[in-house]
């Protein structure tokens, strides 16, 4: 089965593009590690088995992309500065308190939308029409705007999400990025696809 076989058409198209260009100057910046080969087996993964990620080597500010159920999932280790910035722009967001149910498990329905404060786990598919946003952590990026606190920018139609995946106001995307079920089976062992106690 293709990695993109389970995606809706727009997401499949962009995910395939990302897969084709990941080794060069593609959608994801070249400084961002792109991890597509993870345990368990391809077959088990196709049926939705949890994906194990060792978050230990991920440095503060670094983002890795892994695959779960044919979807790209970001694992971002947020810096102290990033965490503080997330507390300062609620007024710019459409759903700062994760009021829209279904976009995150109940245990990630908190200020940082995460299990561990510094580790964000987000499905990397725009909630507008399924493009893959780009990682734009630089505050005040000239091409996005002076009020930009850093986050994820969707190049297809300009939707913006902060570093917790919360959508900004006045963009096409209707909701926050999805937080997939996940938990930690050890200090640095992240399991994507199953919640605590699964």
Q: Which of the residues are catalytic?
A: 157
Beta bridge partners of 68: 71
Smallest distance, ligand FES to C-beta of residue 110, A? 25
By beta-carbon proximity to ligand FES, the closer residue of 55 and 175 is 175
Q: Which of residues 154-193 bind ligand FES (CB under 6 A)?
A: 154, 156-159, 172-173
Residue 18 is a binding residue for ligand FES (CB under 6 A): no
Query: Quick check: 144 binds ligand FES (CB under 6 A)?
Result: no
Least CB distance to ligand FES at residue 13 (A): 11
Q: Which is nearer to ligand FES, 7 or 119 (CB)?
A: 7
CA pair distance 17, 67, nearest whole angstrom: 15
| 45-104: contacts with ligand FES (CB under 6 A) | none
Q: Is 128 in the site for ligand FES (CB under 6 A)?
A: yes
- Of 58 and 167, which CB lies nearer to ligand FES in the complex structure? 167
- DSSP letters spanning the chain: --TTTTS-HHHHHHHHHHHHHTTTT-SS-TTS-B----SS-HHHHHTT--EEEE-TTPPTT-EEEEEETTEEEEEEE--HHHHHHTTS-GGGBS-TT--STTSS-GGG-STTSSSSTTEEEEE-S-TTT----EEE--TT-TTT-TT--SEEE-TTT--EEETT-PBBSSSS--SPPPPPPEEESSSSEEEET--TT-
Min dist. Cβ of residue 172 to ligand FES (A): 5
Nearer to ligand FES, 158 or 195 (CB): 158
The number of residues that bind ligand FES (CB under 6 A) is 12
Tokens representing 184 are 């930690």
Radius of gyration of the chain (CA): 16
Q: How far is the CB of 160 from ligand FES (least distance, A)?
A: 9
In the complex, the residues that contact ligand FES under the rule CB under 6 A are: 126, 128-131, 154, 156-159, 172-173
């Amino acid at each position: 089965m293709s990695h993109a076989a389970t995606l809706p058409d727009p997401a499949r198209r962009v995910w395939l593009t990302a897969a084709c260009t990941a080794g060069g100057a593609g959608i994801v910046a070249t400084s961002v590690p792109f991890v597509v080969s993870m345990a368990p087996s391809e077959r088990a993964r196709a049926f939705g088995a949890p994906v194990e990620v060792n978050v230990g080597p991920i440095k503060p500010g670094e983002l890795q992309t892994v695959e779960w159920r044919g979807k790209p999932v970001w694992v971002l280790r947020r810096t102290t500065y990033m965490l503080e910035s997330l507390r300062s722009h609620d007024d710019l967001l459409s759903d700062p308190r994760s009021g829209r149910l279904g976009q995150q498990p109940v245990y990630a329905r908190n200020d940082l939308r995460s299990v561990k404060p510094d580790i964000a786990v987000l499905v990397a598919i725009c909630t507008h029409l399924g493009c893959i946003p780009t990682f734009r952590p630089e505050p005040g990026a000239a091409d996005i705007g002076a009020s930009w606190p850093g986050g994820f920018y969707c190049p297809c139609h300009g939707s913006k999400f902060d570093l917790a995946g919360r959508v900004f106001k006045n963009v096409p995307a209707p909701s926050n990025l999805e937080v997939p079920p996940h938990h930690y089976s050890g200090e640095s062992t992240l399991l994507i696809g199953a919640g605590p106690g699964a």
